[in-house]
Amino acid sequence: MTLALLTALPVNTQAATLTGKVTAQDTPVAGALVTLWNESHNRKETVYTNASGEYSLTTGFSGQLILRGRATNLKDVNLDIQISADTDQAIDLQLGQFVSPEEVSAALTASAHAATLPFPDQETKTTFISQCTYCHQQGNSLTRIPRKVEAWSKAIWRMEGYGAYVTYGEHKRIAETLHKGFDGQPVEALQTPLFTPDLSKAKVEEWHAGGPMSFLHDTIIGADGKLYGIDEGNDKLFVLDRETSKIEEYDMPVTDEVVGGNFRGMQLPIGIFTGKHGPHSGAQISDGRIYLTGALSSNLIMFNPQDKSWKLYPIPQGFLWRKGLYSHTIRRDREDNLWFTVLISNTVMRFNPHTETFTEIELPHNGALKWFTDTFIGLVLKVASFFPQQNTPLALSHHKWMNGGRDVFNWPYGIDVNPVNGDIWYGKLLADKIGRIDPETLEVTEYDVPHVGPRRLRFGPDGILWIPSFDEGKLMRFDPQSESFESIDLPLMGVNEYETPYALNVHHDTGDVWIAANNSDRLLRYIPGEKRFIAYPMPSQVVWFRDLEFTTEGEVCTSNSNLPAYAHEDGLPAFFCLDPDYL
C-alpha cells in the first residue's frame, strides 16, 4: 500500500466564505462557475452564480489560492488570492471576451467539435457514436488533432484492439470523415447553457487521484462514506476519505496471469493497461466486503476494507473457453447475492458470497450470427493469446470477414435490481434489448427498446426502470407493470450536437434521475414529477463519468475516467462529488 496525501482540511471548523458577483461587460452572468483551487493545486471546489450573477462559497482552504471564473461563450478569469481560515472576503469576477476564433473554439465542449464531422450517411455516424466514443470524448483537444487518413486509420485499428467493432468499410469511412472534419480550423459555434435557479444551490468538489496513466473506471461509495475508485488499467484501488482528503492506494493480488489477461491478443491501450485483472465495477455487501469484476482475468475479486485482504474467485470458463469473458457491471440484491453481466460471453452470473458459488444464467442469442459469436469467441481469444498485442482476433472474427460489424454481438452491459420485487434487469448494449431475470426460477424475458444503445440502466424507488440510449442521446422510461416505454430528449448545448449518456442513477428518496452527459462535460438531473432537466456544467473540460452513486447526505459522486486520463483539463483523474443542496 502507498499513501497519497492531499491537503487535509478540518470539516466546518475553520471555514472561510467568499462572496461576490460575476459579470461580463458589467452585465451579471447567470450560471457562471466559480472555482477555488487549494494551495497544493490538487483539490478544487466550485459553485454556480444565481440569476443576478452572485455566488457564495464556503471553504476550508486557506493560504495562497487561485479563484477562477468561467462561463459558456466567455473567457476565463483567474485571480491569485490570499485566504486565512475563518475569514470572509468579497471578491467580484469580471469575465472577458474572446479576441480570436481560436479562443472561441478552444473553450467549446467536445460536443461542438464533434457536431462538425461530415459523415457521409447516418449509418456511419451511428456506428461512430456507438463504437468510437465509449472510451473517451470525440472532439476534445486530444482527439481532434489533425491527422492524415493513414494516421486516423492506424488509430482506429488500435481502438479496434480494445473492442471497437466496425467493418472494413466503416473503418475506411470513419477515417476519411475524421480527416475532413478535424482539420485544425477553429469552430465558431454558439452554445447555449441551460440555466435554472436550482443551479446556484449546488457545489462540486474534486480530488485528484492517481496519475496521467490511471484509469478510474468506476467509483463506489462504501458504508464508511469513503470513495473506492477502481483503476481498471493498473489493477489498483484508490480509497478517498472525504473527511481528511487522504487517498490510500491498494494494489491487487499478483497472479500468474499475463498483462491483458484473456484479452492479451488484443492491442490494449498502450501504457494504460498494464494490469492482469482489469477491475471494472464494484458492489459492497452488508458485512462490508467489496466485490469487483475482473474484466480481463475472469476473476471476481473481493477486497475487505477492514483488514485490507484480497481474495480471487475464478469464474468457470467452460467449453471452448467461452464463459466468464469480460465480467462487467455488478449489483447486490436484498439477500447479498451479487449479480453481474458478462459482456463477451452473453451471460449474467449470480455469486453467493456465503457459499462462494456461481450460478450462470445464459441469455438469448438473438440470431445465428450472435449465436456464432457466443459459441466461438472464447476459442478466438485463446488462439489470439499466442500472439500478444497483435490484434489477431480482428483477422479471425466474423464481424470482419462476414461484414457483420457490431451486429454480431449481444453485449449484456448494465444491470440492476428492482427494489419493489427483487427482479433482475439488464440491458444488451449491441442487441438493443433489455431483459428480466426471475431471481427464483432464473427465467429470462427480453424486450426491444425504442432507442439503440441501452447502456447502464437503473431503477427508481417506485420500480420504474430508467435507461440511457447512448447512441441516440435519449432517456428512456420503462414501466415493468405495463411493459411500456416513454422517450425523453436530453437537452443539448448547440445546433447539430449529440449527447452520449453513458450511465445514470436514480436517487432512492427523491426519484430524480442523474445522467452522465459525457460529450458536453455536464451532469444532467431529470425531475420526473416536473418533467424538467437541471444541467450542471462541470468545472473541468473533458469529463467522462461511467457510473454514479449517492452519499447518505444526498451528494452524487463519481470519478473522471476519460481514456487516457492525461486528456483531462487537469491532466489527471479525479473524484467528483456534487451536492445539489449546498445552499
Cβ proximity of 171 and 156 under 8 Å:
yes
- pLDDT score for 4: 40
pLDDT in tens, 444-474: 999 999 999 999 999 999 999 999 999 999 9
- pLDDT score for 9: 36
Q: For residue 253, what is the DSSP state?
A: P
pLDDT over threshold 70, residue 7: no
Cβ proximity of 119 and 107 under 8 Å:
no
Cβ proximity of 326 and 344 under 8 Å:
yes
pLDDT over threshold 80, residue 520: yes
35 and 116 together in one domain: no
- pLDDT score for 228: 99
Backbone angles phi, psi at 475, to 5 degrees: -110, 125
Angle at 536 between CA 535 and CA 538, to 5 degrees: 140
Flag whether 141 is in a domain: yes
- Closest by CA to 29, choosing from 203, 199, 205, 190, is 199
- Closest by CA to 434, choosing from 481, 364, 337, is 364
Q: Which domain holds residue 65?
A: 2-97
3-state secondary structure 77-98: EEEEEEECCCCEEECCEEEECC
44 and 117 together in one domain: no
Q: How many angstroms separate the CA atoms of 413 and 428, rounded? A: 6
Confidence grade of residue 14 (pLDDT, cut at 50, 70, 90): confident
Q: How many angstroms separate the CA atoms of 583 and 575, rounded? A: 21
Backbone angles phi, psi at 145, to 5 degrees: -60, 130
13 and 86 together in one domain: yes
- The last residue of one of the domains, among 97, 128, 151, is 97
Average pLDDT over all residues of the chain: 95
Flag whether 340 is in a domain: no
Least confident of 282-291, 395-404, 432-441, 540-549: 395-404
Q: For residue 198, count CB atoms less than 10 angstroms from its CB and return exposed for 0-12, middle for 13-18, buried for 19 or more.
A: middle
pLDDT over threshold 70, residue 8: no
Q: How many angstroms separate the CA atoms of 562 and 215, rounded? A: 8
- The last residue of one of the domains, among 181, 212, 245, is 181
70 and 114 together in one domain: no
pLDDT in tens, 26-52: 999 999 999 999 999 999 999 999 999
- The last residue of one of the domains, among 162, 181, 200, is 181
User: Is residue 183 classed as helix, strand or coil in its secondary structure?
Assistant: coil
Q: CA 341, 456, 415, 437: dihedral to nearest 10 degrees?
A: -100
3-state secondary structure 332-367: ECCCCCEEEEECCCCEEEEEECCCCEEEEEECCCCC
pLDDT in tens, 95-129: 999 999 999 999 999 999 999 999 999 999 999 99
pLDDT higher at 552 or 8: 552
Flag whether 505 is in a domain: no
55 and 16 together in one domain: yes
pLDDT in tens, 521-532: 999 999 999 999
Q: How many angstroms separate the CA atoms of 56 and 90, rounded? A: 9
114 and 88 together in one domain: no
| Residues 6 or more apart whose Cβ sits within 8 Å of residue 382 | 320, 321
Share of residues in the chain with pLDDT > 70 (%): 97
CATH for 49: 2.60.40.10
88 and 7 together in one domain: yes
59 and 109 together in one domain: no
pLDDT in tens, 233-292: 999 999 999 999 999 999 999 888 889 999 999 988 767 889 999 999 999 999 999 999
> Which amino acid is located at 434 in the chain?
I
- pLDDT score for 268: 82
- The structure's pTM equals 0.96
Flag whether 277 is in a domain: no
92 and 128 together in one domain: no
pLDDT over threshold 70, residue 5: no
Cβ proximity of 496 and 543 under 8 Å:
no
87 and 108 together in one domain: no
Flag whether 540 is in a domain: no
Confidence grade of residue 429 (pLDDT, cut at 50, 70, 90): very high
Looking at the structure of the chain, the number of domains it has is: 2
Q: For residue 447, what is the DSSP state?
A: E
Q: How many angstroms separate the CA atoms of 471 and 543, rounded? A: 18
113 and 83 together in one domain: no
User: Is residue 393 classed as helix, strand or coil in its secondary structure?
Assistant: helix
pLDDT in tens, 396-428: 999 999 999 999 999 999 999 999 999 999 999
Q: How many angstroms separate the CA atoms of 483 and 310, rounded? A: 42
Q: How many angstroms separate the CA atoms of 492 and 499, rounded? A: 7
Flag whether 36 is in a domain: yes
User: Looking at residues 169-186, what average pLDDT do you find?
Assistant: 98
- pLDDT score for 458: 99
Confidence grade of residue 13 (pLDDT, cut at 50, 70, 90): low
Share of residues in the chain with pLDDT > 90 (%): 92
- pLDDT score for 244: 97
Flag whether 410 is in a domain: no
Flag whether 120 is in a domain: yes
Q: How many angstroms separate the CA atoms of 204 and 35, rounded? A: 9
Backbone angles phi, psi at 318, to 5 degrees: 70, -165
Confidence grade of residue 1 (pLDDT, cut at 50, 70, 90): very low
